[in-house]
């Protein structure tokens, strides 16, 4: 297995759908070109923002195929392959490897509440069944379950294909402990935009953040400023990004708000797939006003 180091800003990107709920392939290609041009380190198709739970196996394969083709080796592709069952997770992961992704992002199983033992066995079965770099993904906001730092450490020490962790808890305490335990072995990535710079300062390698869909250049500039030691510049960018994050991710429905923001930027973000609904007019106006405060260059 080829070892990779995941550093920088990754876009957990949306999946554009038509009003009827069909995958809009040309819209996706247009958005991929926009994100690549924004200077990000990689793209993450079929994650939470990609509405993966609403995608069939064939649709997941198609989205990943389009992204890999459009990226054409310019940046890293880390495909979301997690599902509710171990069997299906392994299946989706093998699909992604066959399609040529660089790594996979595997969310904790959801719906049923699993014990730590069951969670360990789930990931162990996956890691033994596939030969591809794996990023563990903890997003309690959506799954109701947080990966314990000790469990992450155990998996990272036992399986060399664990190359990263995306923690979307927003908890600096949790991120700090993960970095303490495994930061020298794997890439610890912030999963919420408001802790991007704190995660980097603590020893994390980067971030996989929703707002990068809308402001890829600004998010990339934050990472570059940090890397060059311009902490004042990075702090200013973090404050602006955090403000947008408060509105897009916390105030409004995340999926619909990101797609509306892309539309306001002249990009074909498409519609959310039902049961998710587009934003109401007053919500759209709120986001339009916030984007105006971001100031150029995006």
| Positions marked active-site | 137, 166
Q: Which long-range contacts (CB under 8 A, 24 or more apart) does 22-31 make?
A: 23/59, 23/62, 23/63, 24/268, 24/270, 25/62, 25/66, 26/268, 27/268, 27/269, 27/270, 28/63, 28/66, 28/67, 28/70, 29/66, 29/70, 30/267, 30/268, 31/262, 31/267, 31/268, 31/269
Longest Cα–Cα distance in the chain: 51
């Amino acid at each position: 297995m080829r070892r990779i180091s995941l550093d920088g800003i990754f876009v957990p990107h949306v999946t554009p759908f038509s009003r009827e709920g069909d995958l809009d392939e040309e819209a996706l290609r247009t958005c991929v070109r926009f994100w690549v041009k924004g200077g990000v380190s990689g793209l993450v198709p079929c994650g939470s923002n990609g509405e993966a739970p609403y995608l069939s196996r064939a649709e997941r394969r198609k989205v990943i195929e389009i992204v890999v083709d459009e990226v054409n080796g310019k940046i890293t592709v880390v495909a979301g392959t997690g599902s509710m069952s171990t069997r299906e997770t392994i299946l989706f992961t093998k699909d992604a490897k066959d399609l040529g992704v660089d790594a996979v992002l595997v969310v904790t199983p959801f719906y049923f509440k699993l014990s730590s033992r069951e969670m360990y066995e789930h990931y162990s079965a996956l890691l033994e069944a596939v030969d591809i770099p794996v990023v563990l993904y903890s997003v309690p906001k959506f799954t109701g379950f947080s990966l314990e730092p000790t469990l992450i450490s155990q998996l990272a020490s036992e399986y060399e294909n664990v190359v990263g962790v995306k923690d979307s808890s927003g908890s600096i305490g949790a991120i700090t402990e993960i970095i303490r335990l495994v930061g020298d072995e794997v890439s610890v990535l912030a999963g919420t935009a408001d802790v991007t710079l704190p995660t980097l300062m603590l020893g994390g390698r980067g971030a996989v953040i929703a707002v990068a869909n809308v402001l890829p250049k600004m998010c990339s500039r934050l990472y570059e400023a940090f890397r060059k030691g311009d902490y004042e510049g990075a702090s200013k960018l973090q404050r602006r990004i955090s403000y947008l994050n408060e509105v897009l991710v916390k105030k409004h429905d995340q999926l619909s708000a990101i797609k509306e923001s892309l539309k306001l930027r002249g990009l074909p973000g498409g519609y959310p797939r039902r049961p998710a609904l587009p934003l109401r007019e007053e919500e759209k106006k709120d986001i339009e006003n916030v984007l105006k405060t971001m100031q150029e260059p995006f």
